[in-house]
Amino acid sequence: MKILFIFTLFTVLVSFIFNWKKTIDGLIMALNLFLNILPSFLTVLIILAFVLAALPKEMLAKFLGEKSGYLGFIIAAILGSISLIPGIVAYPLASVLLKNGACYPVIAVFITTLMMVGIITLPLETKFFGFRVAFTRNLFSFIGAIIIGLIMAVLWGTI
């Protein structure tokens, strides 16, 4: 992490030397993007904190851990499909879930469905592409997420 921070600082300094105005504009743009993402990020973290405080670690491991089996895949796939969480928030969320007992294959299913399946956005997608195309895309994405989880489970040795 320190190497990434040093590299970023170095590139910003080099950019500042070559064109300080564009560098300042870029930093302001980055700050604005961060401030736009911050409410979503904090909301998810607060909800997650309440859920993790309410659920014992053993229960989370039971439903999303290595011994959860196919039930863990189904729970993760459904949660990922109905959630509307930006990717920049999803990855820290996955890290917290991993630290609290979830396993990598289940998290892979959750993240894949979160990014590729959109039950909430299906009406909008249907409007542009038609129901058949939107439904087929979501169905194949859902199946693909399960397959990705199964492959990861085989690689991790949990199946």
DSSP per-residue string spanning 109-135? HHHHHHHH--STTHHHHHHHH-HHHHH
Nearest-angstrom CA–CA distance, 152 and 154 = 5
Q: How many domains does the chain divide into? A: 2
Q: 139 pLDDT exceeds 90?
A: yes
pLDDT at 21: 96
Would you place residue 13 in the very low, low, confident or very high pLDDT band (cuts 50, 70, 90)?
A: very high
The model's pTM: 0.75
Residues 123 and 102 in one domain: yes
Token pair listed for 52? 């993790």
Residues 61 and 4 in one domain: no
Residues 113 and 65 in one domain: yes
Flag the least confident range among 42-56, 76-90, 109-123. 42-56
Nearest-angstrom CA–CA distance, 108 and 146 = 9
pLDDT in tens, 62-111: 888 888 888 999 999 999 999 888 888 888 889 988 988 899 999 999 99
Domain range spanning residue 155?
56-159
Q: 1 pLDDT exceeds 80?
A: no
